[in-house]
């Protein structure tokens, strides 16, 4: 009898591989659904999906990391070149599951502090 592998098994395996890789390379943790913090700017709010555990020179970071789509929705300023013009902290490139495309695409993760700074710059 042959073992059956479902599409869900393949997707779950790929998500685990991505999470392991981004931890090893950048010290970024994927946050389980419902376990994250709520990040709010103005009247918009989103759930934290990723968390930074890197040391940027002043100890462990601990900030939520936001996808480009999340950052754009919070700032209200979608841009062709990204939602944060000049981030102070490193932008992390990661492969994410895009339900709209039905596959994995490269996306950027931005620190919440950079998104807040962009929001203040845009909204005065």
Residues 81-95 have pLDDT tens digits of 778 888 999 999 999
Is 64 within a domain? yes
pLDDT at 1 over 70: no
Is 63 within a domain? yes
Is 1 within a domain? no
What do you get for the CA distance between the two ends of the chain, in Å?
A: 65
Is 2 within a domain? no
Is 58 within a domain? yes
pLDDT at 78 over 80: no
Helices (H), 1-124: 7-26, 68-75, 112-123
Is 24 within a domain? yes
Query: Which positions ≥6 away from 19 have C-beta within 8 Å?
Result: 29, 30
CA distance 9 to 22: 20
Number of domains in the chain: 1
Structural domain containing residue 106: 7-123
Average pLDDT, the chain: 89
Per residue in 43-57, pLDDT (tens digit) is 889 999 999 999 998
Output the pTM of the full model. Answer: 0.88
CA distance 51 to 66: 9
């Amino acid at each position: 009898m042959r073992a059956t592998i479902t599409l869900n098994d393949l997707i779950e395996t790929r998500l685990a591989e991505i999470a392991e890789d981004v931890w090893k390379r950048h010290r970024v943790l994927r946050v389980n659904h419902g376990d994250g913090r709520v990040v709010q700017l103005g009247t918009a709010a989103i759930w934290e999906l990723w968390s930074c555990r890197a040391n940027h020179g002043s100890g462990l970071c601990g900030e939520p990391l936001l996808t480009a789509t999340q950052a754009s929705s919070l700032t209200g300023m979608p841009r062709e070149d990204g939602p944060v013009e000049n981030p102070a902290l490193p932008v992390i490139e990661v492969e994410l599951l895009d339900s709209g495309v039905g596959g994995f695409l490269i996306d950027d993760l931005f620190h919440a502090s950079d998104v807040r700074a962009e929001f203040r710059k845009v909204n005065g």
